[in-house]
A = this chain, B = another copy of it.
Amino acid sequence: MQGDLKFASFKQDMNLTMEALCRELFLQNRESVRIIKEEIAVKNLVKILNAALTLCNRKGFASMSLRDLSKESGLSMGALYTYFASKDDLLRLLQSQGRTVVLRAIETQIGGAEHPRIKLRKAIQAHLYVSEIMQPWFYLSYMETKNFPREEHKKAIEAELFTEKLLIDIIRAGQEKGVFKPINSELLGAVIKAMLQDWYLKRWKYSQRRVSVDKYSAFVLDFIESYLVSEP
């Protein structure tokens, strides 16, 4: 369909490498990361965050000890503590970086579109594609939200509601133009969000069944549009 993305080209465009993300994270957290040289900091942050994501996805944040993290990342306990102030602080670093990237990716993608139907397609595809690339990040963020310290917890909930609102607003705009049927937009937004989240929460299931992100995306879009789009 017109304006549709494919995962392969999306991936190329967005340049979401771990290295780029860690560089950005370093520049935005000079107070927390007590290292001076950028190259050293970035190199080790990559090691630390990769290790942390692996371990957290395997056993959960609370059950990951910093000794585990030290072993997995190859850095000593002492060295770890020059990159973050406490275990909670590490969670904050991980969390904040993920949030920023997602919102930017989605807004970049839907920015160009005008027609509600295309806009909705792009929002959904962008969400699925980002979460495909950064799956461990999303998984962690979803699973650990309730364990976040107060402030982070609030931000995580806001982010969830923000992307949901984005969907709802597109639906409403389309309804006003008569492109979409007058369906409860709040509920539809909620269940779309649920379907998007299922993609990164049940990765094991979908990859076992050989469902690619493009296939899943096509299915979800078809499902939603056949319910929502008015006949021409």
Contacts and interface: CB of A to CB of B under 8 A. Distances in A.
Among A57, A202, A216, the most chain B Cβ lie within 10 Å of the Cβ of: A202
A12 interface: no
A227 interface: yes
A226 interface: yes
Contact of A219 (B161, B187, B197): B187
Given A59-B147, A147-B63, A202 B190 contact: yes
A48 B111 CA distance: 52
Copies of this chain held together in the complex: 2
Contact of A62 (B57, B60, B223, B226): B60
Interface in A183-206: 184, 186-188, 190-191, 193-195, 197-198, 202, 205-206
Contacts of A146: 57-60, 143
Q: Which 10 A-B pairs have the closest CB atoms?
A: A194-B198, A62-B62, A187-B219, A62-B63, A191-B195, A194-B194, A60-B147, A226-B227, A194-B195, A223-B227
